[in-house]
């Protein structure tokens, strides 16, 4: 007659120590059933969810790529919008300048004379440290930066890089208090994040005139001057005109 119980003996190295476990045939079968059922359940879960996990990761990567591309597009749209606004400002003000030139010629008076020496940027706008270089080819992780940033103390005088006429003096969302000067021969310079603009629209400036006080207005992390140079509608690296800033370069890019 078969026994309805199973006995397990556990004997240690010390023969005097023994342990005995006894279990009935019914409970042994029940335990084995639950073990097998658990293994099958775990296997089924893995078979069902593992493909979904890989699918989720793939969709998550696609989502992150889409967000990155959307951010890049928004940055390009933002730059395009800003350039469009600047073009509208320049066109509207240049029409006034041309009208005044015509009236000045009729009256034989000179309010703003274009000089290819005085009106080419040659005066460093501030004495400070270069903290960010020009970047006109944006990436997913960076946006365009059409000029250089020069760290200075708040209230530091900002000088006109060349003689010309102020065609914009006012507030912008990105650059805060901004001054744009037209120098003739399609040269323009931009001075952003000013604490205070000292010249109004259509004002005549000479090279080296104090046109503003440096500040941290607009989108800014600290007092500095954002300085841009434009020629024929294209941004030019200010370091081409003012290589002395390279000697005090604290930007993350490698120095030349």
Q: How far is the C-alpha of 107 from the C-alpha of 237, rounded, in Å?
A: 39
Q: With 70 as the cut, is the pLDDT of residue 157 above it?
A: yes
**Per-residue pLDDT, 244:** 94
The secondary structure of 203-245 as a DSSP string is -EE-TT-EEEEEB--SS-SSSEEEEEEEETTEEE-HHHH-GGG
Strands, E assignment, the chain: 5-11, 18-24, 129-132, 148-151, 157-159, 164-172, 176-184, 187-197, 204-205, 210-214, 224-231, 234-236
pTM for this prediction:
0.60
Q: Which two tokens stand for residue 48?
A: 């069902």
**Domains, in order of start, for the chain:** 129-248 (2.70.70.10)
**110 — pLDDT class (breaks 50, 70, 90):** very low
Q: N- to C-terminal Cα distance for the chain?
A: 96
pLDDT digits (tens, 9 = 90+) for 5-15: 667 666 666 65
Q: With 80 as the cut, is the pLDDT of residue 147 above it?
A: yes
**Per-residue pLDDT, 93:** 60
pLDDT digits (tens, 9 = 90+) for 51-69: 777 777 887 787 777 776 6
């Amino acid at each position: 007659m078969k026994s309805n119980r199973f006995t397990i003996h556990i004997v240690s190295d010390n023969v005097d120590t023994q342990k005995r476990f006894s279990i009935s045939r019914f409970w042994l079968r029940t335990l084995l059933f639950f073990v097998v059922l658990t293994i099958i359940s775990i296997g089924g879960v893995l078979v069902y969810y593992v493909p979904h996990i890989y699918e989720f990761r793939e969709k998550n990567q696609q989502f992150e790529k889409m967000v990155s591309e959307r951010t890049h597009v928004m940055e390009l749209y933002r730059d395009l919008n800003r350039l469009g606004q600047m073009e509208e400002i320049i066109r509207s003000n240049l029409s006034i300048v041309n009208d005044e030139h015509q009236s000045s010629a009729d009256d034989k008076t000179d309010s703003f004379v274009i000089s290819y020496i005085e009106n080419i940027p040659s005066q460093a706008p501030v004495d400070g440290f270069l903290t960010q270089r020009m970047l006109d080819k944006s990436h997913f992780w960076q946006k365009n930066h059409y000029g250089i940033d020069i760290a200075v103390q708040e209230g530091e005088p900002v000088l006109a890089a060349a003689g010309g006429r102020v065609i914009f003096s006012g507030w912008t969302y990105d650059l805060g208090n901004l001054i744009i000067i037209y120098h003739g021969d399609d040269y323009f310079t931009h001075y952003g994040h000013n604490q205070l603009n000292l010249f109004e629209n259509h004002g005549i400036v000479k090279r080296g005139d104090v046109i503003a006080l440096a500040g941290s207005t607009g989108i800014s992390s600290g007092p500095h001057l954002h300085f841009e140079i434009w020629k024929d509608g294209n941004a030019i690296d200010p370091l081409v005109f003012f290589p002395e800033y390279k000697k005090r370069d604290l930007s993350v890019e490698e120095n030349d």
